[in-house]
Structure 1
Amino acid sequence: MKKLLILALILTSVGASAQSASFGIKGGLNYGATGEYESFSQVSGDFVSSFEDGEDKTGFHAGMFAQFELLGIFIQPELMYTELNTEYRTFDYKLSKIDAPVLLGLNVLGPLNIKAGPSFQYILDNKIEGSDLEIEKVEKDITVGYQLGLGFDIGRLGFDLRHEGSFQDNFAKGGDIASDSGFQIDSRPSQWILSVSYAL
């Protein structure tokens, strides 16, 4: 909570000193996958494990943003609801979360800009579909990744293409203790994000 209050104070001070400020709504599609799926079991007293990468699938996101500009440099905090889908060999993994990226951007050529920064992720729900496997909540409710990409503004409309990655793993586990078998999935995504925004 203290970190969130400090962040809010910083953004408020930036907004107060900004030459221009805008607020708006945005949404779009994301294409990618969560991290590695590891399954393990005990065979003749030894643990045997196998690993599988998920197949990229399309999800969506929607939310709001603010942008505070000073001398051609801007800071853009966002609050987004995101749904991710990842296909593994025997099931689909569904993840819903709140993303709060805080991006530093630079206007480089006319309507073109570049931006990058940390992205805070808060997991709302995760579940497995198409299988009898049951999964627990993720180990950490909040993790930090990064986003970087290009933007293109035409009047009130904006278009963004970004890549999101992670700084740390965040596993969700499941399995059957009685049979000494189980699995874990890294919930942090690697994905491309395509967004359309409208400044109010």
Structure 2
Amino acid sequence: MKRIILTAVAVISFAFANAQSTRFGIKGGLNIATIGNAENAEALVGFQLGGFAEINVWKKLFVQPELLFSTQGARIDNYGNAADYTVNLNYINIPVLAKYYITKTFSVEAGPQIGLLVSSENIDDERTVDAAFNIGGGYNFTQNFSVGIRYTVGLSNVYDNDRYNDGYYYDDRYTNNVLALTAAYKF
């Protein structure tokens, strides 16, 4: 974990040192989240809020590190004979995206993300670190205001498989998957 954080800091520092221009901003929006492979899982509506830096590294190519608070999870509909319940997972997510402007107003983005679990509800033996990959796009209405859509594909299991593997509950990969619709303002 320490290596991942140090590597991210080194990449961001290198980008700042070599950047032609950097803009900072805030963003927030709607999350539509679920847990992949969870039986009878339904989407859970949440939100994300945070800040970012848009660092121009070469012509139309930018690096965009972000720091976001994100609510994720799923509604589980009548799992077995149990009552319905909601799994709430709150993360501090740190995506580092490569962002390319196809035109002055339209961009595409992709990159890895590390999530640090802040709190959880109605889940046992959850992992405290979540790995994911993002892909998305954005549209700039003005130089300062933009909107975006992003899909986050979970790469790591929400549950801690290392401690339990009973051949039923922990065998499958239960991953965070999030569709985010956001608005952002750059300073």
TM-score class normalised by the smaller sequence: 0.7 to 0.9
Higher strand content, 1 or 2 = 1
**AA in 2 matched with 1:151:** G
**AA in 1 matched with 2:136:** G
Instruction: Specify which of 112, 115, 119 is matched with residue 118 of structure 1.
Output: 112
Change (3 A) 1:144 1:68: same
Change (3 A) 1:121 1:146: same
* 1:187 Cα deviation after fit: 5.7
- Mapped to 1, the partners of 2:112 and 2:104 lie a distance apart of 25
Root-mean-square deviation (Å): 2.1
- Cross-structure match for 2:43: 56
Q: TM-score, structure 2 length as denominator?
A: 0.84
Instruction: Specify which of 70, 79, 83 is matched with residue 82 of structure 1.
Output: 70
- Cross-structure match for 1:10: 11
Instruction: Specify which of 145, 150, 156 is matched with residue 162 of structure 1.
Output: 150
Question: What's the % identity of the aligned pairs?
Answer: 24
* Alpha-carbon contact 1:95-1:125 (below 8 Å) kept: yes
- Mapped to 1, the partners of 2:8 and 2:70 lie a distance apart of 21
- Cross-structure match for 1:91: 85
The answer to whether 1:107 aligns with 2:106 is no
* 1:25 Cα deviation after fit: 0.8
* 1:186 Cα deviation after fit: 6.0
* Alpha-carbon contact 1:97-1:121 (below 8 Å) kept: yes
- Cross-structure match for 2:26: 25
**AA in 1 matched with 2:86:** D
* 1:76 Cα deviation after fit: 0.2
Q: Is the radius of gyration larger for structure 1 or structure 2?
A: 1
**AA in 2 matched with 1:101:** P
Instruction: Specify which of 175, 180, 185 is matched with residue 188 of structure 1.
Output: 175
- Mapped to 1, the partners of 2:115 and 2:121 lie a distance apart of 17
* 1:152 Cα deviation after fit: 0.9
* Alpha-carbon contact 1:125-1:137 (below 8 Å) kept: no
Q: TM-score, structure 1 length as denominator?
A: 0.78
Superposed CA deviations along residues 154-198 of structure 1, whole A, max 9, x for unmatched, are: 22112110111022323169xxxxxx9x95696631121111111
Change (3 A) 1:156 1:24: same
- Mapped to 2, the partners of 1:53 and 1:165 lie a distance apart of 19
- Mapped to 1, the partners of 2:68 and 2:148 lie a distance apart of 14
Count of matched residue pairs: 172
**AA in 1 matched with 2:11:** I
The answer to whether 1:141 aligns with 2:128 is yes
Superposed CA deviations along residues 94-147 of structure 1, whole A, max 9, x for unmatched, are: 11111111000111022100000001111111112xxxxxx4241x32131111
